[in-house]
Amino acid sequence: MDFGRMLDVAISLSLMYLILSLFCTIINEYIASLFKFRAAGLEKGLSALADGRPFLVALLAHPLLAASAPKAVSAAKTVMTAAETERAAASRALEAARAKTTPDPAEIQRLTDTARQADMVAATLENAGSVSVADRPSYLSGQTFAAALLDMVNPSVQSTAGATYDAVLAGIDAIPDQQVRASLRAIVNNGSTDLKSARDAVAHWFDNEMERLQGAYKRRMQRWALGVAFLVAAACNADTLHVARTLWVDQGGIATRVAEQATYLIGKGSQTAAGTGTRAGVEELIDKDRAVAERRKAVAAANAALHAPSADVTLDALTRQLADAKGALATAETERGQAAMALSGDLGIVRQALAPLPIGWPDAKPAVPTLVQALGWLLTAFALSLGSSFWFDTLDKFIKIRGAGPKPSTTPAP
């Protein structure tokens, strides 16, 4: 079997996957930028978390959170009926307690706090206005959500004076919504009695809930990316089966020429002034794509550590580690989008590298695709879904093997 030809075919396929995956990345970033998918996913998760409950919708109107869920804040008045019902019920309960023959001071204080909380929720919803959606964030840390929630239940926890665990519990007990009150009680009552533990517990709960609520969004985005990859493969007629078969039987040296193009593209051939900028852009986009993949692994590792904590690491440290990992992922995705936009305007040398390959449509009207051809596109789409950084590394390894040449003979010369 001709190992050299096999290697050239492998290099040709890897180059095709690399370049087309770059196209997919650029297209996906354009779509994500146009429709703000990441920010929309965060907003949908927050809206699902609020679930139309007045206290939680009012919480989203907090200055720390409002920019992350503008639609939920703008629609705050739709839950005003429920908020007014809660306010009226709290007021009636307080009046009934005061009208007793022997009023209970503790009960009156609790009901007074509840009525004050109901008034604050209703007033927040009444005053909630529309929020600009121009610069919606794509990530919200659990620590930020916890700070907003604790400020909502009892503003004193944000100051040094009165910043106690008991103040948090008192604020939670004053929430009119019994289900929200019970849920927050269960979250904060984690065996510790300090404010820092309460804040970390809320942040941990928020991160878990958002991971669950955005799971469907992430799966939908994965299907979307695979669909884009299939459309790119079909538009370019990049049929893996046809390309591999053609290159294997070709006697004109197509695979060899493609291998030389690949050697140049990944930076191992001689440079020309015209192609240096494009190649630098390709390398930058691949580096950013690799960074996104690494940050996703870091987020997964931090999530796993948080769900199976070690006795040597505190919950606070694990929560902050996850927040840092998610923040780094959001930054890496933004930088990848910027690199994709920058490269999209200069793809001459990238397109040139594809020229020798047996892909594309003939000038004549193309025939109806066959089942085998569609299968070839599907194989290409699955390959493209692995990402440009994967194919860059794979191509680099193949080219190193090709450049090393055959293994020297160990038989001594006569």
| Cα-Cα-Cα-Cα dihedral sign, residues 336, 337, 342, 343 | positive
Measured CA to CA, the distance from residue 198 to residue 185 in angstroms comes to 10
pLDDT of residue 270: 41
CB 115 within 8 A of CB 91: yes
Read off the tokens for 384. 């493209």
Which pLDDT band, with edges at 50, 70 and 90, does 187 fall under?
A: confident
Query: If you average pLDDT over residues 254-263, what whole number do you get?
Result: 71
Which pLDDT band, with edges at 50, 70 and 90, does 345 fall under?
A: low
Would you say residue 378 has pLDDT above 90?
yes
- Segment 69-112, tens digit of pLDDT: 666 666 666 777 888 888 888 888 888 888 888 888 888 888 88
pLDDT of residue 269: 43
Which residue type, as a one-letter code, is found at position 327? Answer: G
Ranges of each domain in the chain: 3-36+217-404, 51-213
Which pLDDT band, with edges at 50, 70 and 90, does 410 fall under?
A: very low
Q: Which of 251-255, 277-281, 321-325 has the highest mean pLDDT?
A: 321-325
- For 405, counting Cβ atoms within 10 Å of its Cβ (0-12 exposed, 13-18 middle, 19+ buried), the class is exposed
Would you say residue 173 has pLDDT above 50?
yes
Which pLDDT band, with edges at 50, 70 and 90, does 228 fall under?
A: very high
Which pLDDT band, with edges at 50, 70 and 90, does 348 fall under?
A: low
Measured CA to CA, the distance from residue 185 to residue 167 in angstroms comes to 13
User: Could you tell me where the DSSP H helices lie in 154-253?
Assistant: 165-173, 178-188, 195-213, 215-235, 240-249
Which pLDDT band, with edges at 50, 70 and 90, does 409 fall under?
A: very low
Query: If you average pLDDT over residues 290-300, what whole number do you get?
Result: 82
**pTM value > 0.95:** no
pLDDT of residue 391: 86
pLDDT of residue 377: 93
pLDDT of residue 379: 94
Average pLDDT of the chain is 76
Query: If you average pLDDT over residues 256-267, what whole number do you get?
Result: 68
Read off the tokens for 243. 């390309």
**Residue 308 or residue 28, greater confidence:** 28
Q: Which of 59-63, 187-191, 256-260 has the highest mean pLDDT?
A: 59-63
- Segment 192-209, tens digit of pLDDT: 677 788 888 888 888 877
**Residue 270 or residue 81, greater confidence:** 81
- Segment 115-168, tens digit of pLDDT: 888 888 888 777 765 555 555 666 777 888 888 888 888 765 554 455 677 878
Which one-letter DSSP state was computed for residue 102? S
- Segment 239-251, tens digit of pLDDT: 999 988 888 887 6
Which pLDDT band, with edges at 50, 70 and 90, does 229 fall under?
A: very high
